[in-house]
Every structure is written in structure tokens, then in C-alpha cells.
Amino acid sequence: MSLEIKNFDPRPIGVFDSGVGGLSVLNQLINHFPEENFVYLGDTARLPYGSKSPLTIQKYVTQNINYLVRHQQIKAVVVACNSASTVLSQIQLASDLPVFGVIKPGARAAFQISKTKKIGLWATRATVKQESYPKALKDLDSTITCISVPCPLLVPLVEEGLWQGDIVDAVLNHYFNQTDFNNLDTLILGCTHYPFIKSSIEKVIHKKNLKVNIIDSALALAEDLSQAFKNNLVQKNSSALKKGSLSLLLTDEASHFMELALKTFPSWENSKFQLIDLNQIV
Ligand code: DGL
């Protein structure tokens, strides 16, 4: 009789974004892998990423990952930010840590659901400019057309806690008018901040009588991580159903961030929170 030997790895999974956006991904990961320990880094001092150049974003991403590896001893990193995920192929990391970005899983989810093969992308300027989504979609099916629209006003709205109401509707209408919905059946929310206003987006879709699937990367990314556990690319924390821990790290003032986080995830009230200065850390 052969005994299957399983290795467990209690180290946390690092997740980062410029601000609250990545919490939409983290929430999905905690739901899928409640036994895992997570460290969330919100780079609030340097937010927004989506209006920065690729070189600046590369610098931030490298610094964030190096910090999480050296100072938080993570076993894998989830780049819960589309703007940051677009530069992953352009950076060199010191470690061979498994890195999960949100672009490929988001593109895959959109590809799987779209019938018309005309897919919309709402994202930050940086993500649209890098063309990572159109490329990822074309890799899956060369006949796909991707209609990309930069929506720079949505991140400040979400960070401000304005997730519904007249101002949000006015801004959304502006972006709906800039998007060619003719024959388009799927819209990728290509910024992890946008799921916070998903119900407002759905309301406008309903009002305009459109038939559009809304996709964000979080669920598909959780599937990627699940696959990585199965393939032993990342080892699970344990087989026991013990709840893992969550630490929140921010690079700037925390009260507003925590207010927004607790508005959506009240159960995080007792999570450990720490302010860090990435410039002081080597
Ligand atoms: N949440 C990030 C994204 O998915 C970026 C927001 C920003 O900092 O501009 O692109």
C-alpha cells in the first residue's frame, strides 16, 4: 500500500493592488481558499497606477513583489491589479516565486462566454495602452474583436466610496456612449476597482436594454490558483478546515481604506493592519 505524502506550506499568499480594487480579488480568493493565510498590500501612497507609464508601473510592481518576498515570506503572489499585470512580462524578479496576474484569466472567462466574439474592455489608460487584453484574446481566438475604452474616472469614484447614485450613473453613461455595443455581448471589467460598481453598471445595461455579460478576472484567477495547488506549483496551507489569517498592509494613511474595506467585508474587522514605507525597506 502506498501512502500519498503531502507537503504543506503555511507561508501566506501575497496579493497587491494600488488601493481597494484588489480586495475584490482577495475576497474571491478567501472564499475559495479559506484555510490559506493572506497578506494584502494596498499601495495607497502611489495610487493610481492606471495613469502612470509602463516604466513607473514596472518599478512599483518589482518593489512590491520584492517586499512581499523578503519581508512577508510569501509562497506565491497574486497581482490583483490589471495595470500592474500588464507589465509582468517586462520585469525581472530575483526569485522564482509563482506569480499570478489577472489578464489571462479575465480574457479566458470572456472568451468562454462570448458568442458574438465581439468583446468590450473597460480599463485604466495604462491597461488599454499596453493592449494586453486584445493580445490575450487573440491568442485564444484570432477572430475575436476587442473594443477597448479607457475609463479613468472610475477608479477615483471607487476610491471615494461613490459606488452608486447620480454621479456614478452620469460617468457610466459617458463611458457607455463611448463604447460601440453593436453586436457586443461581453464586457470585461479590466480594472479590479470596477467590480465595486458592478451593480450600477448592470443597472445602466438594463436601462439601455442591452444584453451584455459582465466579466471580471477574480473567479477565473481563483481557478488558476486552484490548478496551481493541484499541480503542486504552490503547496496548500493545510488539509484541515482551519480558517487562515489576513494581514493588511498599506503604504499611506489607513482610515479611509479601512472604512471602504469594512463597508464590503465587515468580517475583516479584526484583521491585522500595518502601515509600511516601501522606500525605507530594502
Ligand atoms: N485596480 C487597478 C487595476 O486593476 C488600478 C487602479 C489604479 O491604480 O489606477 O488596473
The overall average pLDDT reported for the chain is 94
Residues carrying an active site annotation: 81, 191
Q: Distance of CA 144 to CAs 140, 214, 277, Å?
A: 8, 17, 43
Q: How far does Cα 117 stand from its chain's mean position?
A: 24
Q: Say how many Å lie between the CA of residue 82 and the centre of ligand 1.
A: 6
3-state secondary structure 230-251: HCCCCCCCCCCCCCCCEEEEEC
What pLDDT shows up at residue 202? Answer: 98
Q: How far is the CA of 48 from the centre of ligand 1 (A)?
A: 6
Q: List the grid coordinates of 67.
A: 517586499
Q: What angle do CA 28, 58, 72 make, to 5 degrees?
A: 55
2 confidence band (pLDDT: 50, 70, 90): very low
49 Rama sector, left if φ>0, alpha if ψ -120 to 50, beta otherwise:
alpha
21 lines ligand 1 (CB under 6 A): yes
- pLDDT tens readout for residues 166-180: 999 999 999 999 999
- Per-residue pLDDT of 109-137, as tens digits, reads 999 999 999 999 999 999 999 999 999 99
State the closest ligand 1 atom to the C-alpha of 49, by its place in the atom list counted from 1: 8
Name the residue of 53, 191, 251 whose CB sits within 8 Å of the most ligand 1 atoms, as the mutation to test its pocket: 191
Query: Cα separation of 277 and 121, whole Å?
Result: 34
For the stretch 25-47, pLDDT in tens is 999 999 999 999 999 999 999 99
User: Percent of the chain, pLDDT > 70?
Assistant: 96
pLDDT digits (tens, 9 = 90+) for 158-217: 999 999 999 999 999 999 999 999 999 999 999 999 999 999 999 999 999 999 999 999
Cβ(144) to ligand 1 under 6 A? no
- Any idea of the CA torsion for 214, 44, 38, 96, to the nearest 10 degrees? 90
Expressed in angstroms and rounded, the spacing between residue 158 Cα and the centre of ligand 1 is 11
**According to the model, what pLDDT value does residue 93 have?**
83
**What are the φ and ψ backbone dihedral angles of 146, each rounded to 5 degrees?**
-115, 125
Cβ proximity of 91 and 62 under 8 Å: yes
Kindly tell me if the per-residue pLDDT of 248 is higher than 50: yes
Q: Give me the mean pLDDT over the 230-259 stretch.
A: 89
Q: How far apart are alpha carbons 167 and 172 in whole angstroms?
A: 9
pTM above 0.85, yes or no: yes
Contact 198, 164 (CB under 8 A): no
